[in-house]
Amino acid sequence: MTRAAGLLGLAALLLLVGFLSITQGSRHIGLGDVVDALRHLSAVTTDDTVTVRLRVPRTLLGILVGAALGVSGAILQGLTRNPLADPSIMGIEAGAALAVVLGIVVLGVTGIGPHVVFAFIGALAATALVYAVGSLGREGATPVKMALAGAAITAGFGAVTIGLLLTDLQAQNAFRFWQVGSLAGRYAPIVTGVAPVLLVALAAGMLCGRSLNALALGEDAARGLGVSLTRTRIGLFTVVAVLCGAATAACGPIVFVGLVVPHVARAICGPDYCWILPYSLLLGPLLLLGADILGRILGSPGELQVGIVLGVLGAPFFIALVRYRRLAEL
Protein backbone atom coordinates (compact mmCIF):
# COMPACT_ATOMS: atom_id res chain seq x y z
CA MET A 1 0.00 0.00 0.00
CA THR A 2 1.45 3.37 -1.00
CA ARG A 3 1.49 6.32 1.36
CA ALA A 4 -1.06 8.16 -0.78
CA ALA A 5 -3.41 5.18 -0.61
CA GLY A 6 -2.92 5.13 3.14
CA LEU A 7 -4.07 8.74 3.36
CA LEU A 8 -7.18 7.93 1.34
CA GLY A 9 -7.92 5.00 3.62
CA LEU A 10 -7.56 7.20 6.72
CA ALA A 11 -9.84 9.84 5.16
CA ALA A 12 -12.51 7.20 4.53
CA LEU A 13 -12.13 5.92 8.09
CA LEU A 14 -12.48 9.47 9.42
CA LEU A 15 -15.78 9.86 7.54
CA LEU A 16 -17.02 6.67 9.19
CA VAL A 17 -15.93 7.78 12.66
CA GLY A 18 -17.54 11.19 12.06
CA PHE A 19 -20.79 9.46 11.16
CA LEU A 20 -20.60 7.34 14.32
CA SER A 21 -19.93 10.48 16.37
CA ILE A 22 -23.22 11.94 15.14
CA THR A 23 -25.34 8.81 15.51
CA GLN A 24 -23.90 7.01 18.54
CA GLY A 25 -24.07 7.91 22.20
CA SER A 26 -26.40 7.69 25.15
CA ARG A 27 -29.21 8.42 22.67
CA HIS A 28 -28.99 6.46 19.41
CA ILE A 29 -30.14 8.37 16.32
CA GLY A 30 -30.84 6.56 13.05
CA LEU A 31 -29.28 7.46 9.72
CA GLY A 32 -32.60 8.62 8.28
CA ASP A 33 -33.19 11.01 11.16
CA VAL A 34 -29.66 12.40 10.82
CA VAL A 35 -30.04 13.01 7.07
CA ASP A 36 -33.44 14.63 7.55
CA ALA A 37 -32.18 16.92 10.31
CA LEU A 38 -29.12 17.97 8.31
CA ARG A 39 -31.14 18.55 5.15
CA HIS A 40 -33.63 20.87 6.81
CA LEU A 41 -31.43 22.08 9.71
CA SER A 42 -34.57 21.70 11.77
CA ALA A 43 -35.11 21.18 15.47
CA VAL A 44 -38.65 19.88 15.42
CA THR A 45 -38.00 16.69 17.39
CA THR A 46 -35.61 15.84 20.18
CA ASP A 47 -33.46 13.83 17.75
CA ASP A 48 -33.25 16.86 15.45
CA THR A 49 -32.12 19.06 18.33
CA VAL A 50 -29.48 16.57 19.48
CA THR A 51 -28.18 16.16 15.92
CA VAL A 52 -28.07 19.77 14.71
CA ARG A 53 -27.30 21.66 17.90
CA LEU A 54 -25.17 19.20 19.81
CA ARG A 55 -23.54 16.39 17.88
CA VAL A 56 -22.73 18.04 14.55
CA PRO A 57 -20.83 20.97 16.16
CA ARG A 58 -19.20 18.52 18.57
CA THR A 59 -18.04 16.29 15.71
CA LEU A 60 -16.75 19.17 13.60
CA LEU A 61 -14.85 20.59 16.57
CA GLY A 62 -13.40 17.15 17.31
CA ILE A 63 -12.09 16.92 13.75
CA LEU A 64 -10.54 20.39 13.86
CA VAL A 65 -9.02 20.07 17.33
CA GLY A 66 -7.74 16.54 16.72
CA ALA A 67 -6.07 17.68 13.50
CA ALA A 68 -4.58 20.71 15.24
CA LEU A 69 -3.13 18.67 18.12
CA GLY A 70 -1.78 15.97 15.81
CA VAL A 71 -0.08 18.42 13.44
CA SER A 72 1.28 20.62 16.24
CA GLY A 73 2.71 17.56 18.01
CA ALA A 74 4.47 16.47 14.82
CA ILE A 75 5.91 19.94 14.27
CA LEU A 76 7.10 20.18 17.87
CA GLN A 77 8.80 16.80 17.79
CA GLY A 78 10.57 17.71 14.57
CA LEU A 79 11.44 21.21 15.74
CA THR A 80 12.87 20.16 19.11
CA ARG A 81 14.17 16.79 17.87
CA ASN A 82 12.59 15.37 21.01
CA PRO A 83 10.36 12.28 20.58
CA LEU A 84 8.58 13.03 23.87
CA ALA A 85 7.67 16.60 22.97
CA ASP A 86 4.02 17.56 22.86
CA PRO A 87 2.12 20.88 23.07
CA SER A 88 2.34 21.01 26.86
CA ILE A 89 6.15 21.34 26.63
CA MET A 90 5.75 24.95 25.46
CA GLY A 91 3.62 25.99 28.42
CA ILE A 92 0.59 26.42 26.17
CA GLU A 93 -1.82 24.59 28.42
CA ALA A 94 -0.40 26.24 31.53
CA GLY A 95 -0.69 29.70 29.96
CA ALA A 96 -4.25 29.04 28.84
CA ALA A 97 -5.22 27.74 32.29
CA LEU A 98 -3.71 30.74 34.06
CA ALA A 99 -5.50 33.17 31.75
CA VAL A 100 -8.84 31.43 32.37
CA VAL A 101 -8.35 31.54 36.13
CA LEU A 102 -7.36 35.22 36.02
CA GLY A 103 -10.49 35.96 34.00
CA ILE A 104 -12.65 34.18 36.57
CA VAL A 105 -10.99 35.57 39.70
CA VAL A 106 -10.21 39.14 38.58
CA LEU A 107 -12.98 39.89 36.09
CA GLY A 108 -15.60 37.38 37.18
CA VAL A 109 -16.15 36.01 33.66
CA THR A 110 -18.35 32.93 33.28
CA GLY A 111 -19.38 30.70 30.40
CA ILE A 112 -17.43 28.80 27.79
CA GLY A 113 -17.33 31.71 25.32
CA PRO A 114 -15.28 34.10 27.48
CA HIS A 115 -13.14 31.19 28.66
CA VAL A 116 -12.21 30.47 25.03
CA VAL A 117 -11.08 34.06 24.49
CA PHE A 118 -8.98 34.20 27.66
CA ALA A 119 -7.47 30.77 27.05
CA PHE A 120 -6.42 31.68 23.50
CA ILE A 121 -4.75 34.90 24.67
CA GLY A 122 -2.99 33.06 27.50
CA ALA A 123 -1.75 30.30 25.20
CA LEU A 124 -0.26 32.72 22.71
CA ALA A 125 1.35 34.81 25.46
CA ALA A 126 2.87 31.70 27.08
CA THR A 127 4.33 30.53 23.77
CA ALA A 128 5.89 33.94 23.11
CA LEU A 129 7.38 33.96 26.62
CA VAL A 130 8.83 30.46 26.23
CA TYR A 131 10.46 31.40 22.94
CA ALA A 132 11.83 34.66 24.38
CA VAL A 133 13.37 32.90 27.39
CA GLY A 134 14.69 30.02 25.27
CA SER A 135 16.33 32.47 22.84
CA LEU A 136 18.51 34.10 25.48
CA GLY A 137 22.25 33.59 25.09
CA ARG A 138 24.64 33.30 22.19
CA GLU A 139 23.32 30.07 20.76
CA GLY A 140 19.77 31.34 20.43
CA ALA A 141 16.72 29.08 20.60
CA THR A 142 18.20 25.60 20.74
CA PRO A 143 15.91 22.56 21.26
CA VAL A 144 17.27 21.88 24.75
CA LYS A 145 16.87 25.48 25.90
CA MET A 146 13.33 25.61 24.50
CA ALA A 147 12.38 22.43 26.36
CA LEU A 148 13.87 23.72 29.62
CA ALA A 149 12.19 27.10 29.22
CA GLY A 150 8.86 25.42 28.55
CA ALA A 151 9.17 23.16 31.59
CA ALA A 152 10.13 26.07 33.86
CA ILE A 153 7.32 28.34 32.68
CA THR A 154 4.80 25.50 32.88
CA ALA A 155 5.79 24.87 36.50
CA GLY A 156 5.65 28.57 37.36
CA PHE A 157 2.29 29.18 35.71
CA GLY A 158 0.91 26.02 37.32
CA ALA A 159 1.94 27.19 40.78
CA VAL A 160 0.31 30.60 40.29
CA THR A 161 -2.86 28.98 38.96
CA ILE A 162 -3.14 26.66 41.97
CA GLY A 163 -2.49 29.56 44.34
CA LEU A 164 -5.31 31.58 42.80
CA LEU A 165 -7.72 28.66 42.90
CA LEU A 166 -7.00 27.94 46.55
CA THR A 167 -8.16 31.44 47.46
CA ASP A 168 -11.44 31.33 45.53
CA LEU A 169 -13.87 28.40 45.79
CA GLN A 170 -16.15 29.86 43.11
CA ALA A 171 -13.22 30.02 40.70
CA GLN A 172 -12.46 26.36 41.39
CA ASN A 173 -16.01 25.36 40.49
CA ALA A 174 -15.98 27.39 37.28
CA PHE A 175 -12.48 26.31 36.25
CA ARG A 176 -12.94 22.56 36.65
CA PHE A 177 -15.45 22.38 33.78
CA TRP A 178 -12.86 23.80 31.38
CA GLN A 179 -9.86 22.00 32.87
CA VAL A 180 -11.09 18.43 32.31
CA GLY A 181 -10.79 18.65 28.51
CA SER A 182 -14.02 17.96 26.69
CA LEU A 183 -15.94 18.30 23.43
CA ALA A 184 -19.27 18.40 25.26
CA GLY A 185 -21.21 21.65 25.46
CA ARG A 186 -19.28 23.30 22.63
CA TYR A 187 -22.03 24.74 20.48
CA ALA A 188 -21.91 26.16 16.95
CA PRO A 189 -20.63 29.65 17.94
CA ILE A 190 -17.52 28.08 19.49
CA VAL A 191 -16.90 26.02 16.35
CA THR A 192 -17.37 28.95 13.96
CA GLY A 193 -15.17 31.10 16.19
CA VAL A 194 -12.12 28.84 16.15
CA ALA A 195 -12.59 27.16 12.75
CA PRO A 196 -11.11 29.96 10.58
CA VAL A 197 -8.05 30.23 12.84
CA LEU A 198 -7.47 26.48 12.89
CA LEU A 199 -8.00 26.04 9.14
CA VAL A 200 -5.48 28.76 8.26
CA ALA A 201 -2.94 27.42 10.77
CA LEU A 202 -3.43 23.84 9.52
CA ALA A 203 -2.84 24.98 5.95
CA ALA A 204 0.37 26.68 7.09
CA GLY A 205 1.37 23.56 9.01
CA MET A 206 1.07 21.42 5.88
CA LEU A 207 3.77 23.61 4.29
CA CYS A 208 6.32 22.94 7.06
CA GLY A 209 7.45 19.50 5.87
CA ARG A 210 10.59 20.58 4.02
CA SER A 211 11.74 22.84 6.85
CA LEU A 212 11.32 20.03 9.38
CA ASN A 213 13.19 17.61 7.11
CA ALA A 214 16.07 20.08 6.94
CA LEU A 215 16.13 20.56 10.72
CA ALA A 216 16.12 16.79 11.20
CA LEU A 217 19.54 16.68 9.49
CA GLY A 218 21.04 18.93 12.16
CA GLU A 219 21.65 22.65 12.42
CA ASP A 220 24.86 22.67 10.36
CA ALA A 221 23.29 20.68 7.55
CA ALA A 222 20.21 22.91 7.61
CA ARG A 223 22.37 26.01 7.29
CA GLY A 224 24.21 24.36 4.43
CA LEU A 225 20.88 23.89 2.67
CA GLY A 226 20.18 27.61 2.98
CA VAL A 227 17.69 27.37 5.86
CA SER A 228 17.50 30.36 8.19
CA LEU A 229 17.26 28.73 11.60
CA THR A 230 15.89 31.80 13.37
CA ARG A 231 13.16 32.56 10.84
CA THR A 232 12.26 28.88 10.51
CA ARG A 233 11.95 28.37 14.26
CA ILE A 234 9.89 31.51 14.74
CA GLY A 235 7.57 30.48 11.92
CA LEU A 236 7.17 26.93 13.22
CA PHE A 237 6.58 28.03 16.80
CA THR A 238 3.99 30.54 15.58
CA VAL A 239 2.08 27.81 13.76
CA VAL A 240 2.22 25.57 16.84
CA ALA A 241 1.12 28.39 19.13
CA VAL A 242 -1.93 29.20 17.02
CA LEU A 243 -2.92 25.54 16.58
CA CYS A 244 -2.52 24.61 20.23
CA GLY A 245 -3.85 27.91 21.52
CA ALA A 246 -7.12 27.68 19.60
CA ALA A 247 -7.53 23.95 20.32
CA THR A 248 -6.85 24.32 24.05
CA ALA A 249 -9.07 27.37 24.26
CA ALA A 250 -12.01 25.58 22.68
CA CYS A 251 -11.80 22.21 24.45
CA GLY A 252 -9.54 22.67 27.45
CA PRO A 253 -6.24 20.81 27.89
CA ILE A 254 -6.40 17.48 26.02
CA VAL A 255 -3.41 15.24 26.59
CA PHE A 256 -1.85 12.39 24.65
CA VAL A 257 -3.01 13.26 21.12
CA GLY A 258 -0.06 15.49 20.24
CA LEU A 259 2.37 13.04 21.83
CA VAL A 260 1.40 9.71 20.28
CA VAL A 261 -0.13 10.62 16.90
CA PRO A 262 3.22 11.66 15.32
CA HIS A 263 4.76 8.36 16.45
CA VAL A 264 1.97 6.40 14.81
CA ALA A 265 2.28 8.49 11.65
CA ARG A 266 6.05 7.96 11.57
CA ALA A 267 5.61 4.20 12.01
CA ILE A 268 3.25 4.13 9.01
CA CYS A 269 4.94 6.45 6.52
CA GLY A 270 8.58 6.77 7.62
CA PRO A 271 10.66 9.79 8.68
CA ASP A 272 9.64 12.19 5.87
CA TYR A 273 7.73 15.09 7.43
CA CYS A 274 6.10 15.87 4.11
CA TRP A 275 4.10 12.69 4.81
CA ILE A 276 4.10 12.71 8.62
CA LEU A 277 2.17 15.99 8.71
CA PRO A 278 -0.78 14.92 6.52
CA TYR A 279 -0.93 11.55 8.30
CA SER A 280 -1.02 13.37 11.65
CA LEU A 281 -3.74 15.63 10.25
CA LEU A 282 -6.01 12.58 9.85
CA LEU A 283 -4.84 10.40 12.75
CA GLY A 284 -5.41 13.18 15.31
CA PRO A 285 -9.18 13.51 14.79
CA LEU A 286 -9.53 9.73 14.46
CA LEU A 287 -8.05 9.30 17.93
CA LEU A 288 -9.93 12.20 19.50
CA LEU A 289 -13.35 11.34 18.06
CA GLY A 290 -12.83 7.65 18.80
CA ALA A 291 -12.12 8.43 22.45
CA ASP A 292 -15.10 10.78 22.59
CA ILE A 293 -17.46 8.11 21.22
CA LEU A 294 -16.06 5.56 23.67
CA GLY A 295 -16.62 7.96 26.57
CA ARG A 296 -20.26 8.48 25.56
CA ILE A 297 -20.91 4.75 25.29
CA LEU A 298 -19.11 3.73 28.49
CA GLY A 299 -20.64 6.56 30.52
CA SER A 300 -24.21 6.04 29.30
CA PRO A 301 -26.71 7.46 30.23
CA GLY A 302 -24.19 10.20 31.01
CA GLU A 303 -20.70 10.36 29.52
CA LEU A 304 -17.01 10.32 30.33
CA GLN A 305 -15.16 13.41 29.15
CA VAL A 306 -12.72 12.80 26.33
CA GLY A 307 -9.81 14.13 28.40
CA ILE A 308 -10.45 11.44 31.01
CA VAL A 309 -10.74 8.66 28.41
CA LEU A 310 -7.50 9.70 26.72
CA GLY A 311 -5.73 9.95 30.06
CA VAL A 312 -6.76 6.41 31.01
CA LEU A 313 -5.96 4.87 27.62
CA GLY A 314 -2.93 6.96 26.81
CA ALA A 315 -0.31 5.61 29.20
CA PRO A 316 -0.58 1.87 28.38
CA PHE A 317 -0.94 2.58 24.66
CA PHE A 318 2.17 4.75 24.63
CA ILE A 319 4.16 2.15 26.62
CA ALA A 320 3.12 -0.49 24.09
CA LEU A 321 4.11 1.80 21.23
CA VAL A 322 7.55 2.49 22.70
CA ARG A 323 8.09 -1.22 23.36
CA TYR A 324 7.10 -2.07 19.78
CA ARG A 325 9.47 0.52 18.34
CA ARG A 326 12.33 -0.75 20.50
CA LEU A 327 11.73 -4.34 19.39
CA ALA A 328 11.59 -3.19 15.78
CA GLU A 329 15.01 -1.56 16.15
CA LEU A 330 16.69 -4.70 17.53
| 187 against 290, higher pLDDT | 290
CB neighbour list of residue 288: distance below 8 Å, 6 or more residues apart: 62, 65, 66, 69, 183, 254, 257, 306, 310
Mean pLDDT across the stretch 134-147? 75
Mean pLDDT across the stretch 59-80? 92
Question: Residues of the chain with pLDDT > 70: what percent?
Answer: 85
In the predicted model, is pLDDT for residue 170 greater than 90?
A: no
Q: Which one-letter DSSP state was computed for residue 167?
A: T
User: Could you list the residue range(s) of the whole structural domain that residue 160 is in?
Assistant: 3-329
What's the pTM?
0.86
Question: Binning pLDDT at 50, 70 and 90, where does residue 329 land?
Answer: very low
Window from 67-81, 110-124, 276-290 with minimum mean pLDDT: 110-124
Q: How far apart are CA 13 and CA 277, in angstroms?
A: 18
In the predicted model, is pLDDT for residue 73 greater than 50?
A: yes
What is the domain count for the chain? 1
CATH number of the CATH domain containing 172:
1.10.3470.10
List C-alpha distances in Å: 83 to 40, 117, 263: 47, 31, 8
Q: How far apart are CA 116 and CA 136, in angstroms?
A: 31
CB neighbour list of residue 275: distance below 8 Å, 6 or more residues apart: 3, 209, 265, 269
- According to the model, what pLDDT value does residue 321 have? 62
- According to the model, what pLDDT value does residue 165 have? 84
In the predicted model, is pLDDT for residue 203 greater than 50?
A: yes
In the predicted model, is pLDDT for residue 137 greater than 50?
A: yes
